[in-house]
Amino acid sequence: MTSVLDSSATEVAEQSDTVSDDASIVATDASNRPAHGTPAGEYLWLDPHKLKRAPNRDEKPANADHDASIARFGNFVPLIVVRTDEGEYEVHDGWNRTVSLRKTDHMASCVVLPSDASKDEIEREKERIARQYNTGAHRFDQSAKDRYDAAKQMLDLGVPIKEATKLLVGMPQKQVSAVKKIAKAPSVEKAHREHKLDLFQSLRAAEEFGDDPDAIAELEAAAANGRFEHHLQRMLDLRAERAAAEQAAEEARAFEEQAKAAYDAQVADLTGRGYIVLDDTDVPADYPALVGLVTASGEPATEDDITTPGNYAVRLVPLFVAYDNDNEIITPDLIDFDTREDTSLYPVEGMYHWEDVIAKPDWVRHYYCLDLEAENLALVEPVDVEADSPVIDDDEDEDPAAAAARRAAAEEQRRLAEEQHQRAAQEAADKLRRATQLNALVRSATKVRREFIREHLFSGRKSVPDGSWELIGKVMQHPSMLTRLAAGYLVDSLGGAVPNSPQNKGQGARDNHGALRALLRTAAALEAEMQPSDREADTWRRVSSFHGEWLNYLETALDYQSAPIEKHYTGELTQDEVIAAEYGETTATNDPGEAGDVSDLTDLDTAGPQQSGSADAELAEPGHPDIELGDTEDTHGDSQANPDFTL
């Protein structure tokens, strides 16, 4: 008998990701081909109770019609049985028929194949798996578990992925590769075998989280609601945020250590020369600052006028100094601070990207004179108060009871003002947190949506889906959308798989290609309108009718599953409902469906790690401690307005 697994008898076409129909055709070597009429095995009647179950697929659920047919006629299709070296009979194909036969008095109709003694145990197991998989594949649809088990059993035998792909005809190589990775994560494997995650969901879960039961349980729940990709992206983004926070904390600790070392060096230098170094930030009122003094000639006093260091106290104020990679100082006007908030931006020509700036700690010395006479310095003359300006003494001739009442009223007013301030601060913090949460959801949803568009709309497609021309026509009514800068970038990002010219010269092919290119421009324009850049993730505050139209198109034409934040664009969910769905929080607002509640806030202040935790810190050029980093002009933003388009 010639086995389909015998490499000298069979040749299967090479394949990479998929097996074509032609590749599944086996070309048999004529020299090893059995002669016509050669027995391939025996046909025997066997007692089903004496049959042994070989490793096989799970028993199917009870089927009354199947049992009734077996009870009446026995098994029309013979079982495939292999006689072992010990003389037992193993059922390699037809175990569910065997189970039904055991409920009757019928004997089992069997084709008995001999165990090939010329092959070792591994080769015989490979033959068994291939026979079970391929016969099952041709008779009825196999479940995901059946396919997984066949591939895993092959891999457990040590069969290389390419060989397993040839033996399991019709199973793409990428599926066998996925099984190999999934098998390393038991919790993922369990979810797949229980049909809670499909093969490629399981692969993503195993690649990203390994054998993490909590993470896999989250993904199972998300998959059950049709939100696997969106929830996975949120989990990845949250993990990246935590990693960034940990890195920022580590950088802050290192920076603080550098700052302390620089501080200690300054203190040692100052005290060694006789100066008094102030430890706290509150300078006594009777210590006049050097910058507010004049010399005997009336000129402003400077460090050059210090004669005796012991007559001065010094306060050290933290300062950040920016350097480039060559250790050259960079002044703040040469740093493009937009790149700090969105590191994907290119800096304005001639300016530095934030990631190319090295901030080092330094300390500015603020001097205070303790003995003006000894230093021959004087305070700047105060401006005289006009003679007709009355000086009011609130307590003059005031009745003690009235004074007490006035002070009590003032204290009550102060208390109420403090309470109001605290409420306002809490409201601002809540709004900022809410804006940060919504922005994070927008970013995650955008990543998933754009990957979906690349894969399902512009990868390998030769024509546009139904409804595309209607959408294209509506966008063409707003040409500014098509020409904005972000749309140009997104054409390349979304349509990398769309050829620049049709692959067929026929008129129909050229028309389809033109439609596909038009749809690509339309999709890029709509995506740029929704989120021009990672920094501008505030789609929730400027929802337009185009957003809903675009998402409805994706859902209808491509079965896209929208995230909760995207359902806010279509008007299905309010902001509160989105936050409740994603974060499990409820927030009382006057009108939760309106973006105006937090429209004046962004999460830019929380977009990236700060260089230091010091509130007094400045970034400046040495010698100019008054230079602070303020807001800079947004040279990257899109100057076009975002009207609420009406379709």
- Of the ranges 274-288, 482-496, 576-590, 614-628, which is most confident? 482-496
Please tell me the predicted confidence (pLDDT) of residue 395. Answer: 55
Q: Assess whether pLDDT exceeds 90 at residue 130.
A: no
Mean pLDDT of the chain: 80
Name the residue with tokens 């749309």: 487
Q: Encoding tokens for residue 126?
A: 């490979």
Q: How confident is the model at residue 199 (pLDDT cuts 50, 70, 90)?
A: very high
Q: How confident is the model at residue 212 (pLDDT cuts 50, 70, 90)?
A: very high
Q: Assess whether pLDDT exceeds 80 at residue 441.
A: yes
Pairing state of beta strands 352-353 and 335-336? parallel
Whole-structure pTM value: 0.64
Entry field: residues in the chain = 647
Reading across the β-sheet that carries 42-46, which strands appear in turn? 42-46, 108-114, 79-83, 89-93, 52-53
Judged by DSSP in three states, 90 sits in: strand
Q: Assess whether pLDDT exceeds 70 at residue 347.
A: yes
Q: Assess whether pLDDT exceeds 80 at residue 430.
A: yes
pLDDT (average), residues 257-275: 94
DSSP alpha helix (H) spans, 495-595:
507-530, 545-558, 564-569, 575-583
Please tell me the predicted confidence (pLDDT) of residue 456. Answer: 92
| Distance between CA atoms of residues 409 and 63, nearest Å | 87
Pairing state of beta strands 276-277 and 108-114? unpaired
Please tell me the predicted confidence (pLDDT) of residue 100. Answer: 94
Please tell me the predicted confidence (pLDDT) of residue 105. Answer: 95
Please tell me the predicted confidence (pLDDT) of residue 34. Answer: 82
Q: 378: exposed, middle or buried (C-beta count within 10 Å: 0-12, 13-18, 19+)?
A: middle
Q: Assess whether pLDDT exceeds 60 at residue 320.
A: yes
Question: For residue 495, which amino acid is it?
Answer: G
Q: Assess whether pLDDT exceeds 70 at residue 25.
A: no
Q: How confident is the model at residue 585 (pLDDT cuts 50, 70, 90)?
A: low
Please tell me the predicted confidence (pLDDT) of residue 366. Answer: 92
Note the pLDDT tens digit of each residue in 600-637: 444 433 333 333 333 333 333 333 333 333 333 333 44
- Of the ranges 350-354, 495-499, 624-628, which is most confident? 350-354
